[in-house]
Chains A and B, each alone.
Chain A
Amino acid sequence: MDEILFFVAGIAAIVAAAGTVFLRNPFYAVLSLVVHLLSLSMLFLLLYAQFVAVVQVMVYVGAVMVLYVFVNAYVGGGSEPEGGGGPSLRMFSYAIAITLIVTIGIAVLGTGLQAIDGSGPDDIPASFGSPGEIGKLLLTKFLLPFEAASFLLLVAAIGAVVLARRRRGVLPGEERMVAALDLLAPTGTGSMREGVGAINPTPGGFSARITPSTGAGTLPASDDRTGDDSEGGSR
């Protein structure tokens, strides 16, 4: 039973992985990756790692890949992605890929093939791969990486917010967040003088910027002047 499952899952994993690379339609490539991950989780199950197997399905298939499918369905458009880079770069990438395959091939053929005849270790404790055991490892031997990984997630979230945050009216050299006292608009705000950039409506900030094409000065977005704290809202 184990052997049959192993070969079914192994072959499915390899075929699906190849499909991920070779399928031209990004949507199908993603679906192929989903199949690959499901096959991998089956392999994990065969390796006595039930917890990892299920988490693989929950996290990768259930959350990460759904987002992939989501984005692909929205913007994939079915068109082939542009193959960037010149022929030399392409040759370089082929060279890297071939080197990689040869390296892994040597490594796997040199040792992995022996494992097929073997029956695996006999002395695996019953609790191996159980959530309790993994939890214990995470809180003892791998406590530091575990805690650091939480920071990793935190910083990834911060990074995503930084990159995805709406930059309403943000201009180089302009502070969007204003302190309460700055809300008192300087005299002349709203007059013609301000219209030509003579008055700086955001104290401490800069009144005008140069647009790239014409060099004409434009005023910052008006909500900054009225004190509508756009940054606070977009956080």
Chain B
Amino acid sequence: MSTLAVTEAPHIDWAGISSLIALFGGAVVVLLVGLLRARFARLTLVPVLTIVAFAASIGLAIWQWDEDTSLMSGALGLDPLAMIGVVGIGVAGIAAVLLSIGATAPREAAHGEYHAMMLVAAAGGAMFVGAENLITTFIGLELLSIPLYVLAATELHRRRSLESGLKYLIVGSVGSATLLYGFALIFGATGSLDYAAIADQVAAKGLGDDPLMLGGVAMVVVGLAFKSSVAPFHQWTPDVYEGAPTPVTAFMATATKVAALIAFLRLFDGALIGASDAWGPALAALASIAIIVGNVGALGQSSMKRLLAFSSIAQAGYMLVGVVVATKLGVQATVFYVLTYVVMTAAAFAVIEAAERESGHDGISALAGLGRRRPLHAIALTLSMLGLAGVPATVGFVAKLRIVQAAVDGDYSWLAIVLVVGSMISFVYYLRVVARLWTDEPAGVAVAPQSQAVEVEAPEAVATTTAVADPKGLPAAAVPGGGAVVVTGATILPMTVLAVVAGAAIVVLGVIPGPLMTVVEDVARAVPELFR
């Protein structure tokens, strides 16, 4: 059978893609372990293995930190920007796995499948942040999105969850399709799929004002804006965040944001830098709209998940500012902000998940008097809220400062002003949460008034809750007429651990931001197009 056509296989740098392989391999292992019948394997081994996979991926990414090449025929970049993305996604993944311990969603989806999907989504994110080629970008994006569509709907018996999954699927598909169309137009204009080659073509042929190129860029902007929930393409965010199981929401909010923003950086400040005259003002407009819409929208929210959804829209706006200015400083500021955003959001979601398990809903009222009941949680959430608002001595302040600095430095002072004004508005709702934590009296178990569980319909409040039989044998807290059910045996420890660690990180990094900043300095290596 010597007639077989022999083709030279591409060189594969196994060390370079090791962090990606850790995630993919972890997904397969976790999926198979999840099929074991022993409870121990499914309930303990699966989450542990998932965390190991995430940690391995983080470790391998740090190991490959000093590399500066591209892998697999230029499909994937191996540089600090990609690696920091992997680290951010890994941290988000670990946080989400911790939140999933004892949650309903993994039980509904079966543990193996649930965690495998999370790992595959993270692998997709890792591809997305490292992509140096339009095909890899798109595949990475889909790999990130499709598991999330499913994960959002895993609590199938809860209508909200199903609705959330469906909405995310439809909006996500629209975003993907728009992005793909944009890629096609860019490919048509430049005749190339590689980022570097696109940048060369744009520079060489002066495609900065070519209609095909601009059409493509416009559609890419819209597609990515859908994905990173930048207003006015944000409508899906609150509903999806609220409906999805909280651990999934946490993963969605953090990992997706890291991936989308770094992809923004790589694509716009890298491949499309030549057309920055065209997309700069457009992105600036989007950023300012996002800041305003997000912050104003968050004002009236009584569901914590919705509030964080709107807050994430605003934060996406802040982060976009660093992309808009297209300077080295901007890139560093955005990456720094994304990382701190992961930490702050993880802390918030940890507390919300814990409160949701105790009270059955995620309304702000569930947090009332938390300062007395669970001081550690209350402190962590306070730090997170202050950090998201940008109060000095938290890491959020440093991040915001750097973004403002980058904006002023990059001649986008008006954007800096919008950012500051937006931050001021945001104080209202962030502080409202903090006030609720510390001032209100403990509302007592199971007394969540109907009026405050507004976003949660009565049957759903029950469905999300794990109702256990109390020691005396009768079903606990069987409140007639529905309403919140308080659970005494819910697992809270992982949430506490996460909240404490993340809360500590907020303060420590806020006081001593130096090391993280030094690390982030490195990422500028990844976008050489900025310095031609």
Asked if B480 and A215 sit within 8 Å, CB to CB, the answer is: yes
- In A106-135, the 8 Å CB interface with B consists of 106-112, 132
Asked if A200 and B469 sit within 8 Å, CB to CB, the answer is: yes
Which one, A111, A145, A148, A155, contacts B211 given CB within 8 A? A111
Asked if B478 and A217 sit within 8 Å, CB to CB, the answer is: yes
Which one, A110, A162, A173, contacts B109 given CB within 8 A? A162
Asked if A143 and B72 sit within 8 Å, CB to CB, the answer is: yes
| Mask of A212-235 contacts with B, CB within 8 angstroms, 1/0 | 111111000000000001011001
For the side of the interface on B, what is the size category?
35 or more
Given the contacts A162-B110, A172-B104, A172-B463, A155 and B146 also touching, CB distance less than 8 Å:
yes
A151 to B142, CA, bound (A): 11
CB neighbours of B210 from chain A (8 A) = 110-111
CB neighbours of B135 from chain A (8 A) = 142, 145
| Mask of A162-173 contacts with B, CB within 8 angstroms, 1/0 | 110001001011
A175 to B104, CA, bound (A): 10
- In A177-214, the 8 Å CB interface with B consists of 177-180, 182, 196-200, 204, 206-210, 212-214
CB neighbours of A170 from chain B (8 A) = 108, 157
B387 at the interface (CB under 8 A from A): no
CB neighbours of B462 from chain A (8 A) = 210, 212
Asked if B104 and A180 sit within 8 Å, CB to CB, the answer is: no
Closest Cβ–Cβ distance, residue B319 to chain A (whole Å): 23
CB neighbours of B149 from chain A (8 A) = 159
Given the contacts A148-B127, A173-B466, A111 and B104 also touching, CB distance less than 8 Å:
no
A59 at the interface (CB under 8 A from B): no
Asked if B212 and A107 sit within 8 Å, CB to CB, the answer is: yes
B7 at the interface (CB under 8 A from A): yes
A158 at the interface (CB under 8 A from B): yes
A58 at the interface (CB under 8 A from B): no
B468 at the interface (CB under 8 A from A): yes
A149 at the interface (CB under 8 A from B): yes
Asked if A212 and B469 sit within 8 Å, CB to CB, the answer is: no
CB neighbours of A172 from chain B (8 A) = 104, 157, 463-467
Q: Which residue of B lies closest to A112 (CB)?
A: B212
Q: Which residue of B lies closest to A153 (CB)?
A: B146
Asked if B156 and A110 sit within 8 Å, CB to CB, the answer is: no
Q: Which of B59-67, B113-121, B408-416, B515-523 contacts its partner? A: B113-121
Q: Which residue of B lies closest to A154 (CB)?
A: B120
CB neighbours of A177 from chain B (8 A) = 37, 39, 42
Closest Cβ–Cβ distance, residue B457 to chain A (whole Å): 9
Given the contacts A111-B189, A158-B117, A212-B458, A206 and B468 also touching, CB distance less than 8 Å:
yes
Given the contacts A106-B214, A210-B478, A167 and B156 also touching, CB distance less than 8 Å:
yes
Asked if B154 and A162 sit within 8 Å, CB to CB, the answer is: yes
CB neighbours of B473 from chain A (8 A) = 196-199
Q: How many A residues touch B, CB cutoff 8 Å? A: 65
Closest Cβ–Cβ distance, residue A212 to chain B (whole Å): 4
B150 at the interface (CB under 8 A from A): yes
A155 to B146, CA, bound (A): 8
A18 at the interface (CB under 8 A from B): no
Closest Cβ–Cβ distance, residue B527 to chain A (whole Å): 21
A/B pair count, beta carbons within 8 Å: 197
B188 at the interface (CB under 8 A from A): yes
Given the contacts A159-B149, A198-B473, A206-B469, A141 and B73 also touching, CB distance less than 8 Å:
yes
A43 to B143, CA, bound (A): 29
Asked if B185 and A107 sit within 8 Å, CB to CB, the answer is: yes
B153 at the interface (CB under 8 A from A): yes
Asked if A152 and B139 sit within 8 Å, CB to CB, the answer is: yes
Q: Which residue of A lies closest to B475 (CB)?
A: A217
A71 to B481, CA, bound (A): 39
Asked if B139 and A143 sit within 8 Å, CB to CB, the answer is: no
Closest Cβ–Cβ distance, residue B113 to chain A (whole Å): 5
CB neighbours of A140 from chain B (8 A) = 7-10, 73
Given the contacts A172-B466, A173-B104, A161 and B211 also touching, CB distance less than 8 Å:
no
A57 to B484, CA, bound (A): 53
B241 at the interface (CB under 8 A from A): no
Closest Cβ–Cβ distance, residue A40 to chain B (whole Å): 13
- In B71-87, the 8 Å CB interface with A consists of 71-76
Q: Which residue of A lies closest to B154 (CB)?
A: A162
- Pairs of residues from A and B, 5 with the lowest C-beta to C-beta distance, nearest first: A107-B215, A110-B211, A159-B150, A198-B473, A212-B459
Given contacts A104-B215, A162-B109, A206-B466, 16 further A-B pairs with CB under 8 A are: A100-B219, A107-B215, A107-B216, A141-B74, A143-B12, A152-B143, A152-B146, A159-B149, A173-B107, A206-B467, A210-B475, A213-B459, A215-B479, A215-B480, A217-B469, A232-B37
Listed by A's residue number, 25 A-B pairs whose Cβ atoms lie within 8 Å are: A92-B232, A107-B216, A110-B215, A111-B188, A111-B211, A132-B5, A141-B75, A143-B73, A144-B75, A151-B24, A155-B146, A159-B117, A162-B117, A162-B154, A163-B153, A163-B154, A170-B108, A172-B157, A172-B465, A172-B467, A173-B466, A206-B466, A208-B467, A212-B463, A217-B474
